[in-house]
Copies of this chain bind each other. A is one copy, B any other.
């Protein structure tokens, strides 16, 4: 099989994924959006989400134009164009996915109202599948198109494509993360705590912003994050294949491309299977889809490995990636689900007060780094033994090959969450809310697993890109005994701390504005409480949007400027040290913050389920404080670090010619 045919085939599979996504979104749009009130609320959410995206993209355009010019002048025009393509395709994936998600939310609620669990699950999951298929479809379409046009000889131009994807992910994750938590904290702290109205009460002026936030943070943000990892892992594999003399460049490129193509087909199949499930046990149906897709990819990897390399070394590396990805997800669940000891301990200690809850949740987050780190070490060591440095990149590709269904399952969560919000706001009967609650609770678990997967894959991708960086730079050692490398490591290690501090403070500032606004509305419109006056939802949406967009700029610039400054000032080895330092502390902090946030969240929910005094008890009050601390941890700072470590590596890779 020659290169062009293969690439055309992969491009074809990508287009197939997009066509399936199109078919699914048409199907969703044909579903009944429900009562007039539901349509009204759904429109508010969709318009808010789209308004955010539009304004965000407007800022990104400025950033992209500047970076395009810099790339065109200092690197070359092909890299600049590849950068644009990567950015545009990531934007398209996010835009389409979110548009469908904000269409599926009302329809999920209505399916729960008119059909039942099975129908609601179907709509929510199909909505999520569109995002998943857009990520893999646009991603692999772009990579195969570029390879077809440029040929393997110019594979380094692909780093531009990866940079485009990373830039969008940066703003998507940071901006989206700030948005969603500012709205959430604003809605909760005034609505629930001060005024005493329940979650998702339509009288809360910030309630629409809160629901918009689920979409911009958990749908578009998460999608762009995994889009970046997906593209980055494949690109690093291709670059290693093209530059390393030990590997035939043709086979070395064919393998990841074909594996990614197979992963897309496996994801489509998995999606079909989940759609046909009975809907009795949503968690089981979703897991089954992921497992089937993984199994298919494993079989294909086995065949490809034998066919292209004549042995099972490539299969070994891929298998390690897949197994470690699944295992990290499972471990994350163990630390964040209320079925296990960690969360129950935190809930029990809530009786001693908020401080103990916070300390214990934080300790749990730190403790939860041990197993994922050992697993990542096992993947790195094992993959290297299998296939050298190329093997490390392969294990990243393996882990991410099923990202289509992983994103589908993950996006299903916020759609169900939104559906529940709409059911509440539209005063649908209790049995509808019961169905959406059940879907939402499954979504919480899948979200935790998805977060673990996102961090694990970010770590492996960053590592693969790091290895490519050294390979392309032609440096044979990054020596920790060189003072410049030590300095690079310290600075790199410090950046995730600084980045987290900045994003947390940003959430604080944005939430503060939101709180003031919600308080103002309750004060100036006393009719809100007895439904004689309507809250001004749009104003709250606008505040979250403006604040998030303003606050994302400084952390965003930091991620781009820091590697450039160290590369230019201290050289490529020091920059290598920076990337290594940032990778280590970044992964650790991201896991700590995500797990702690998830554990606090579920400890609160566990108490709300009746344990330790239930809702309104002192234990509950303490747990709510823990949960609120966890909000920016798990939904803003933690996930943003994934992007930081990948983006800095990509920036280093793209701008390498300047540092040499």
Question: 9 shortest A-B CB distances, which residue pairs?
Answer: A355-B628, A366-B501, A493-B584, A367-B501, A478-B480, A384-B483, A363-B504, A477-B479, A366-B497
A-B contact pairs, 30 of them (CB 8 A): A189-B353, A193-B353, A352-B512, A354-B354, A355-B624, A356-B508, A356-B511, A359-B504, A359-B508, A359-B629, A362-B504, A363-B504, A365-B501, A366-B497, A366-B498, A366-B500, A366-B501, A366-B504, A367-B505, A369-B498, A373-B494, A389-B481, A470-B481, A476-B481, A478-B480, A479-B479, A480-B577, A486-B580, A497-B588, A625-B625
Is A647 on the interface with B (CB-CB < 8 A)? no
- Rounded to whole Å, the gap between the CB of A241 and the closest CB of chain B is 17
> Cα distance A656–B501 when bound, in Å?
39
Known: A366-B497, A481-B477, A483-B392. A505 touches B360 (CB 8 A): yes
Known: A363-B504, A369-B494, A585-B584. A485 touches B480 (CB 8 A): yes
User: Contact at B358–A358, with CB atoms within 8 Å?
Assistant: yes
Q: Could you say which of B185, B353, B369, B584 contacts A584, with CB atoms under 8 Å apart?
A: B584
Is A581 on the interface with B (CB-CB < 8 A)? yes
| Residues of chain B lying within 8 A (CB to CB) of residue A577 | 480
Chain A interface helix/strand/loop/mixed: helix
> Cα distance A515–B624 when bound, in Å?
23
User: Contact at A363–B512, with CB atoms within 8 Å?
Assistant: no
Is A130 on the interface with B (CB-CB < 8 A)? no
| Residues of chain B lying within 8 A (CB to CB) of residue A480 | 477-480, 485, 576-577, 580
User: Contact at B498–A370, with CB atoms within 8 Å?
Assistant: yes
User: Contact at A381–B484, with CB atoms within 8 Å?
Assistant: yes
| Residues of chain B lying within 8 A (CB to CB) of residue A592 | 497
> Cα distance A364–B376 when bound, in Å?
30
Interface residues of A in 365-382 (CB under 8 A from B): 365-367, 369-370, 373-374, 376-377, 380-381
> Cα distance A189–B352 when bound, in Å?
8
Closest to A484 in B: B381
Per-residue B-contact encoding for A317-349, CB less than 8 Å = 1, 0 else: 000000000000000000000000000000001
> Cα distance A490–B365 when bound, in Å?
17
> Cα distance A588–B189 when bound, in Å?
31
Is A632 on the interface with B (CB-CB < 8 A)? yes
Interface size class of A (residues with CB under 8 A): 35 or more
User: Contact at B354–A625, with CB atoms within 8 Å?
Assistant: yes
| Residues of chain B lying within 8 A (CB to CB) of residue A376 | 490
Is A432 on the interface with B (CB-CB < 8 A)? no
- Rounded to whole Å, the gap between the CB of A632 and the closest CB of chain B is 6
Which A residues are within 8 Å of any B CB, using their own CB?
185, 189, 193, 349, 352-356, 358-360, 362-367, 369-370, 373-374, 376-377, 380-381, 384, 389, 392, 463, 467, 470, 475-481, 483-487, 489-491, 493-494, 497-498, 500-502, 504-505, 507-508, 511-512, 515, 576-577, 580-581, 584-585, 587-588, 592, 624-625, 628-629, 632
User: Contact at A501–B364, with CB atoms within 8 Å?
Assistant: yes
| Residues of chain B lying within 8 A (CB to CB) of residue A477 | 477, 479-481
User: Contact at A491–B363, with CB atoms within 8 Å?
Assistant: no
User: Contact at B588–A493, with CB atoms within 8 Å?
Assistant: yes
Interface centre among A487, A500, A502, A592 (most CB of B within 10 A): A487
> Cα distance A486–B580 when bound, in Å?
8
| Residues of chain B lying within 8 A (CB to CB) of residue A487 | 377, 380-381
User: Contact at B490–A584, with CB atoms within 8 Å?
Assistant: yes
Closest to A506 in B: B363
| Residues of chain B lying within 8 A (CB to CB) of residue A352 | 189, 512, 515
Known: A477-B477, A487-B381. A501 touches B363 (CB 8 A): yes
User: Contact at B355–A625, with CB atoms within 8 Å?
Assistant: yes
Query: With A373-B493, A377-B487, A493-B588 given, can you name 9 additional A-B contacts, CB distance below 8 Å?
Result: A189-B355, A354-B354, A356-B511, A380-B483, A476-B479, A477-B477, A486-B580, A493-B585, A584-B585
Interface centre among A498, A588, A624 (most CB of B within 10 A): A588
